[in-house]
Every structure is written in C-alpha cells, then in structure tokens.
Amino acid sequence: MPDAPNIDLSALVEPVQAIAREAGRRILEVYAGDFSVTEKADHSPVTEADLAAHSYIQRGLAELAPHIPVLSEEAPDVSFSERSAWEWLWLVDPLDGTREFIKRSDQFSVNIALIHRHEAVLGLILLPVVGICYYAYRGGGAYKQLIGTRARRIQAARVSHYPIRVVSSQGSYRSRRLQDYLATLGPHRHFCLGGALKSCLVAEGEADLYPRFGPTGEWDTAAAQIILEEAGGYLTDTQFRPLRYNARPVLINPDFFAFGDVTHDWSRYLSHHYPRRRSLSLPSY
C-alpha cells in the first residue's frame, strides 16, 4: 500500500483507547462465565474472548484508519510478499496472556501498536480487569491511566539500588537459561507476572529488567517497545539492537531485554554459549 503521510499520532490515542476498552469489556464478559478452550495450529490456546476482541478491534481500527492494514495474532496469515509493502500497519494482540486468562489470574491485556517502517510509533496496553491503560506515541511521552482519571506520565528507573528487580513469566522462570542468567546476575528480587504487564512495570520504574529467552510474537512486544522507549527505557535483542517489526517472513522475536538503565550491560550475565553485547546502538528519542 502507499505511505500514509501526515498521521497525527496524538489524535489517535483517545479513539484507540476507546477501541481497546470496548474489546476489554467483551473479554470480561467471557471471563465472567464458563468458556471453552481450543488449540491453534501452533498448539497455543485460544478462547472465544480472543476471537471476540480480535473481531471488534479489527473492525474498529478499519473504521478509524481505513488506509492502514491490521495484522493480528488471530489473523496472521498474510504473505510476506504482501505485508512487506506496508509502510504502516496495526500490530495487535487482542488478548495477550491467554494462558493467564484461562487460569483466571487477571494478568492479561489488550495490546495495540502502530508500526511505521518497521518501528513502533504508537502503543497501548490495556489491563481489562483493573482498567489500567499504558500508552505512548513517538515524541509524546509514556503514560499510565485509570479509567475516569487523568493520565500520569511514567519514567523508567536507573539502577541506583540493589537488589535488582527482575520480572518474568512463571513458565520462563523455570527455564534453565533464565536460571543460569539470574545466578550470574547476583542479588535480585524476582517477580512472576503474566502478559505485557512485565514490560509496563519496567516502563514505570517498578522493575529494572525483563529478560526473555524464548519465542514471542511481534504483537507481544510492539506496544511495549514504544511505551518503554518513551519512558526512557529500551526493548532490544541481547546485542542491544532495538526490535524491528514486519521486517522478516516470520513474526517471531529474537531473545530480548526490556530495561530502564542503558548504562548497565545486561548482556554480561549471559552464558558464553550465547552472543553478548557488541556495541550499543540505541535510538536517541
């Protein structure tokens, strides 16, 4: 598709948040009752809540910006030859944390990101159960907002305290590679959380590091990346290169770090079996 010039990112925040909140309401309708779980081709679970949120978000974004295509976790089968021509796209996880949803842990979210030339330029993460919304757009800062209240600007933390505060999912915490990394890291406090909330805590300075060693989808991180960057933090691969979106035939991220302190070399704790930091080349915005 042709480029879509002159997009006012700040003007998109309110309508995108409204779309996310309505999708969240539909998710909670399913959450309040009994629901069935089926398995996708990649063996990951899906519920009617995932599909209801996907359908609403896809329709809402198409009405908001008809010229921008939507790529969703629940409809990812677009050929790379087609999507590689997209200058702009919405990257959506309608229900990030489906396993947490199934466990009824409340730790799941709606993730919506706007991508321009492989970079996230607007992102929103809504936690439906508590009504908290994190959002950011390029050059506009990062914010946390409860429904019915004014948004509060958030800022990632620098490491001037110990132990270091680390977040991960319960599943990845049990992995040998993360256990080895944490043992080398030294004194730390660890918290297990689900979905995109891990990156949000780093963005608001409540955690220092979220290391992820294992596959994630691009829709899992795109919104979090711009929120982190606008909060003064970063989301990079283990060689400190910012993640890029819709740039490859596969939509799977490399291993990554989400962190607030750019002066701390988080790769130094990696096993010698894995690539370490080469040089720091991070965005200046």
State mean pLDDT over 71-88: 96
Write the pLDDT tens digit of every residue in 138-175: 999 999 999 889 999 999 999 877 899 999 987 765 78
DSSP code string of 125-148: EEETTTTEEEEEETTTEEEEEETT
Mean pLDDT of the chain: 92
State mean pLDDT over 265-272: 88
| pLDDT bucket at 239, cuts 50 / 70 / 90 | very high
Q: How far apart are the first and last CA of the chain?
A: 27
Tell me the CB-side half-sphere exposure of residue 283, using CA atoms within 13 A: 20
Indicate the Cα dihedral angle 154, 159, 160, 165, nearest 10°.
Answer: 90
Question: Token pair for residue 68?
Answer: 């921008």
Write the pLDDT tens digit of every residue in 84-121: 999 999 999 999 999 999 999 999 999 999 999 999 99
